Amino acid sequence: MTQQQSVHSSGRLAGRWSPYIVGIGIGVLSWVVFVVVAAPLGITTSIGQIAGGVVSPIVGADTVAANAYWRTNAMKLDYGTLFLIGTFFGALASALVSRTFKFESIPSVWQERFGSSKTRRFIVAFIGGALAMYGARMAGGCTSGNGISQSLQLAVVGWTFLAVMFVSGMITAAIVYGGSRSTVSGEK
Amino acid sequence: MFPIKGEGALLLAIVFGFVFGWLLQRGKVTNYNVIVNQFRLKDFTVLKVMFPAIIVGGIGVLALTNMELAKWHVRDANMLGTIIGAAIFGIGMVLYGYCPGTGIAAIGTGSIHALVGAAGMIFGAILYAFSFEWVRANILSVGKLGKVTLPQIMHIPAWTLYGALIVIAIALFVWVEKRGR
């Protein structure tokens, strides 16, 4: 556990709040959004909409307008998109206020396993982001929309998503990081 | 008075998003190592955030709907799409090191690779849009259960399930904290 502790006491984790308190905070935020705007927390619907706007100059606005997905998920500066922008600025402000803002291209856990090639990290991050987004759209939501907003309502879709996502993630992590045995140097 | 729609809601969207991003950053789930180490069972921060969010959020929303101050927003359970989608999502989340929400927040903390992965997310969304008609016809159409909840299919009251979740969460976190994870 010495490795763990050194990771936790490093600069990027300064200003940390108890994760339980943060979770309770997100739960209370859910009460507020359910009552005040009747719009549960969610992220990927808006990213899907933005993608239509991004690809429009390449494939043409007609192609986007005719697409069955974007027809009902057109890009617009709506509630979800502004929530996304708010999420970015909230994290930015928190990082600046707690003096933990730091440019990072290669996280330490990745570096210990795969070395310091930025290209390698960026390619895998890109593929990972693409898979996460594709899967989230097929499942109808991500960790926020399904994992929290649906699960807190005890919806079947939310708990199915959480269970399958965790098993899939653990198998992936075991393959990528070489099983449950630690590859982190210095750890038992 | 509620729910607020229109321009007022747009302003609130930024405020609520800001609070969400702030909380994610303070919980350190904007950190690649924290996310990946959850899936390696070395650091339970992700579950320490999610379980209280689900339990506190759920009990509050249940009470608010009973008082008719809020409505349920249960989505359709398209089981095949949810299972395949979640499986793909789990692979993606470990490779990216973030989920979509924490990825967007991580960009705000200075993570360049989170920004690269966000470009990947846009790419993934484009692929989904272009395959959507096939997915809808062949995957989303299989195992449609409708807007079902666990209390409905298990015939157990919601309060009992929340109670069980509290017990499970406390047992899990006592175990986890003893091991310093």
Q: Do residues A23 and B49 make contact, with C-beta atoms less than 8 angstroms apart?
A: yes
CA distance A68 to A55: 15
How confident is the model at residue A7, as a pLDDT?
Answer: 47
User: Could you give the ipTM of this predicted complex?
Assistant: 0.97
Asked whether residue A6 carries a pLDDT value surpassing 50, the answer given is no
Pick the closest to residue B53 from A147, A66, A85, A71 (CA basis): A147
Query: Which residue among B38, B50, B128 places its CB closest to the CB of A48?
Result: B128
CA distance A95 to B114: 15
How confident is the model at residue A37, as a pLDDT?
Answer: 96
What is the distance, to the nearest Å, from the Cα of residue A15 to the centroid of all Cα atoms in its chain? 21
Q: Does A39 touch chain B (CB under 8 A)?
A: yes
- In order along its 181 residues, chain B shows pLDDT tens digits of 889 998 999 999 999 999 999 999 999 999 999 999 999 999 999 999 999 999 999 999 999 999 999 999 999 999 999 999 999 999 999 999 999 999 999 999 999 999 999 999 999 999 999 999 999 999 999 999 999 999 999 999 999 999 999 999 999 999 999 999 9
Q: Does A180 touch chain B (CB under 8 A)?
A: yes
CA distance B53 to A25: 7
* CB count in 10 Å sphere of residue A99: 10
Are the Cβ atoms of B19 and A28 closer than 8 angstroms?
no
pLDDT band of A12, cuts 50, 70, 90: low
Q: Do residues A133 and B140 make contact, with C-beta atoms less than 8 angstroms apart?
A: no
Q: Does A36 touch chain B (CB under 8 A)?
A: yes
Asked whether residue A8 carries a pLDDT value surpassing 70, the answer given is no
Pick the closest to residue B94 from A64, A183, A170, A23 (CA basis): A170
Amino acid at A76: K
Q: Does A138 touch chain B (CB under 8 A)?
A: yes
φ and ψ at residue B173, rounded to 5 degrees: -75, -30
Crossing angle between the packed helical segments B32-39 and B79-96, to the nearest 10 degrees: 130
pLDDT tens for A108-149 read 999 999 999 999 999 999 999 999 999 999 999 999 999 999
Q: Tell the burial category of B176 from Cβ atoms under 10 Å away from its Cβ (0-12, 13-18, 19+).
A: middle
pLDDT tens for B32-71 read 999 999 999 999 999 999 999 999 999 999 999 999 999 9
- Domains of chain B: which residue ranges? 7-178
Pick the closest to residue B110 from A66, A103, A64, A93 (CA basis): A103
How confident is the model at residue A9, as a pLDDT?
Answer: 46
Residue B45 corresponds to which tokens in the numbers above? 């921060």
Percent of chain B scoring above 90 in pLDDT = 97
CA distance A125 to B115: 9
Asked whether residue A185 carries a pLDDT value surpassing 90, the answer given is no
Model pTM score: 0.93
How confident is the model at residue A81, as a pLDDT?
Answer: 96
Nearest-CA distance B19 → chain A (Å) = 6
